[in-house]
Amino acid sequence: MLDEFLQEARVAYFSMEIALRSEIPTYAGGLGILAGDTLRSAADLSLPLVAVTLVSRAGYFRQELDAEGGQIEHPALWDPARWAAPLGAKVGVRIEDRAVWVGAWLYVIESDIGGRAPVILLDTDLAENAPADREITHYLYGGDDRYRLMQQMVLGLGGVRVLRALGFEVSAYHMNEGHSALLGLELLRHFTYPASELRAGESPYDVPRVRQLCRFTTHTPVEAGHDRFPYELVQRLFCDGGGSGLSAMPFDLAELQQLGGRHELNMTQLALSLSAFVNGVAKRHAEMSARMYPGYLVRAIPNGVHPYTWTAPSFRALYDRHVAGWCHEPELLGRAERIPDAEIRAAHLAAKHALIERVRQLTGIELSPDAPILGFARRMTAYKRPGLLFTDPGRLAAIARQRPFQIVLAGKAHPRDEEGKRLVAQLHRETRALAGRVPAAYLPDYDLALAQLLTAGSDIWLNTPLAPLEASGTSGMKAAFNAVPSLSILDGWWIEGCIENVTGWSIDGAESLYDKLEHTVLPLYYGEPAGWARLMKGAVTINAVYFNSHRMMRRYATEAYLR
């Protein structure tokens, strides 16, 4: 089963979360969706990658909402045996004073056009391990600092060891965000200078060699967003001076501080120190990262989304008819210009009906196909400002009295993000308060499948982050594949994607959001069908054509992997 993947050297792509498919809840949000799209495109393009992640048997969580919009979190258990094949390899990672054994599963991403990409799921739920250690790979982003650092040790140290044990030849290591930065320490253990070449006091670790092997993609535009651990905790978990053959920490503290930061182990700093190629996920984000970490060259490879995954069935059929080959070569979508308006409208109406039906099933709320749907769904956290749309509910209702529109919302808050949970409850309340004036629904348990329906079935895709905190954002790109224009704050990808009145509209706060909705967006929707169709096509021919993960992976291949 594994043999077909061992024939050639592969790029090892490490990510704490990967959205493999909607039935497998091993992702929390955009980072995991991006990782999944990365691998789906790698499979389509037959790029030699192997992905490494945790099995996350209890997923992120399943979100239920109580009558007041309170978020109830349920484990999202899944059975790896149903989707993946157990692999024989088992490796030890020393944590605190004991060996934690790490096993592995193989999940294969299969492209519709024949390509395949292997994903290794790391699993500590083995009989050899103490009960608490069996849960290290259970809860995605669960627990406290100690739990998270143990997870990162399993991912970084365990992941490299498992790839070796399975017989993979690795041509490069790609860290998707800092969670997997510890893999660099594991590599340093293997690449040392011969003792005879060292002068007294010199470090034996061949840092330049490891840097040549590693690539790092950062996704966080602010210092506070980066994972950091106190060295006291790091030393305790790494069993400093443990002496066993499994010992995870061959370094003294001073050496580690040089690589990972003076006061705390900063995973971004560590990844930067050990990677020859570093990139941000949008132009503005790369510039900000370069300013945050002077001395490092941070390139920009803008994110993209997987064409087939994020295109609704009605649009897949439409593109197949008019621009055959589009999902393998999304550049062809530039030619979608010639699709008759009526066919674009019909494809959109089919996607809109699918969303309306799902809203009815989930909430009992009946939306109309005749009025535009304003869609907004994301991780509910303060910087995404989900409440901005409801700054002045009276004004919203007044705008809707002139020209009706509808609102659909969704999103989970991290279980420890109290502010995020407050926002979920607030939005839930706002939708109820608008009842009878602006039809509005808050859908529970935002996930990949719901995102597919929402980004395709809405008429306008809204995004209101607090600039410059959105590194990229990707849901607006998904909307673009379905001819849905964005109404968004100029931040992240939208700085590059927005051409005013051509691909959508920019806003800079609540006031301009209301003004554009009232004076530009709704009058166009109701008054100028041909103008609206032009805008729908603009989203496809200018944005989907570029913000896709095929273009992104071709760039990673030529600029990062082959260097």
Ligand X SMILES: *Cc1c(COP(=O)(O)O)cnc(C)c1O
The residues binding ligand X (CB under 6 A) are 29-30, 33, 378, 446-448, 451, 473-475, 478
Minimal distance in Å, beta carbon 339 to ligand X?
25
Length of the chain: 563
Which residue, 378 or 428, is less far from ligand X as judged by CB?
378
Amino acid symbol at 344: I
Which residue, 161 or 284, is less far from ligand X as judged by CB?
284
Minimal distance in Å, beta carbon 410 to ligand X?
9
Which residue, 29 or 103, is less far from ligand X as judged by CB?
29
The SS3 assignment for 249 reads coil
Closest among 176, 172, 126 to 155, alpha carbons compared = 176
Which residue, 183 or 407, is less far from ligand X as judged by CB?
407
Minimal distance in Å, beta carbon 556 to ligand X?
19
Q: How many CB atoms lie within 10 A of CB 325?
A: 11
Question: How much is the CA Rg of the chain, to the nearest whole Å?
Answer: 24
Cis peptide before 444 (omega within 30 of 0): no
For residue 91 the two structure tokens come to 């490796």
Which residue, 215 or 378, is less far from ligand X as judged by CB?
378
> How far apart (Å, rounded) are the C-alpha atoms in residues 121 and 50?
11
**Strand ranges (DSSP E) for 246-385?**
264-266, 277-280, 298-300, 373-377
Half-sphere exposure of 344 (CA within 13 A, CB side): 25
Which residue, 31 or 521, is less far from ligand X as judged by CB?
31
Which residue, 266 or 475, is less far from ligand X as judged by CB?
475
Closest among 100, 141, 157 to 16, alpha carbons compared = 141
Minimal distance in Å, beta carbon 519 to ligand X?
26
For residue 390 the two structure tokens come to 């409801």
Minimal distance in Å, beta carbon 14 to ligand X?
20
> How far apart (Å, rounded) are the C-alpha atoms in residues 290 and 223?
12
Which residue, 179 or 378, is less far from ligand X as judged by CB?
378
Minimal distance in Å, beta carbon 23 to ligand X?
14
DSSP letter assigned to residue 542: I
The SS3 assignment for 100 reads strand
Closest among 391, 380, 368, 397 to 457, alpha carbons compared = 368
For residue 34 the two structure tokens come to 């991006």
The answer to whether the beta carbons of residues 205 and 211 sit under 8 Å apart is no
Rounded (5°) CA angle 20-21-25: 80
Minimal distance in Å, beta carbon 310 to ligand X?
8
The answer to whether the beta carbons of residues 434 and 428 sit under 8 Å apart is no
Which residue, 457 or 473, is less far from ligand X as judged by CB?
473
Q: What share of the chain is helix, strand, coil (3-state, %, to 5)?
A: 45, 20, 35
Which residue, 275 or 474, is less far from ligand X as judged by CB?
474
For residue 68 the two structure tokens come to 């007041």
Going 419 to 422 to 428 to 434, the CA torsion angle's sign is negative
Which residue, 481 or 561, is less far from ligand X as judged by CB?
481
Minimal distance in Å, beta carbon 226 to ligand X?
18
The SS3 assignment for 12 reads strand
Minimal distance in Å, beta carbon 30 to ligand X?
3
Which residue, 507 or 533, is less far from ligand X as judged by CB?
507
DSSP for 497-520, please give it: H--BTTTEEEE-SHHHHHHHIIII
Minimal distance in Å, beta carbon 474 to ligand X?
4
The SS3 assignment for 265 reads strand
Which residue, 381 or 541, is less far from ligand X as judged by CB?
381
The SS3 assignment for 547 reads coil
Half-sphere exposure of 422 (CA within 13 A, CB side): 6
Minimal distance in Å, beta carbon 167 to ligand X?
34
Minimal distance in Å, beta carbon 518 to ligand X?
24
Which residue, 264 or 470, is less far from ligand X as judged by CB?
470
Minimal distance in Å, beta carbon 506 to ligand X?
16
443 contact partners, CB below 8 Å, separation of at least 6: 358, 359, 362, 363, 377, 408, 409, 410, 450, 454
Minimal distance in Å, beta carbon 448 to ligand X?
5
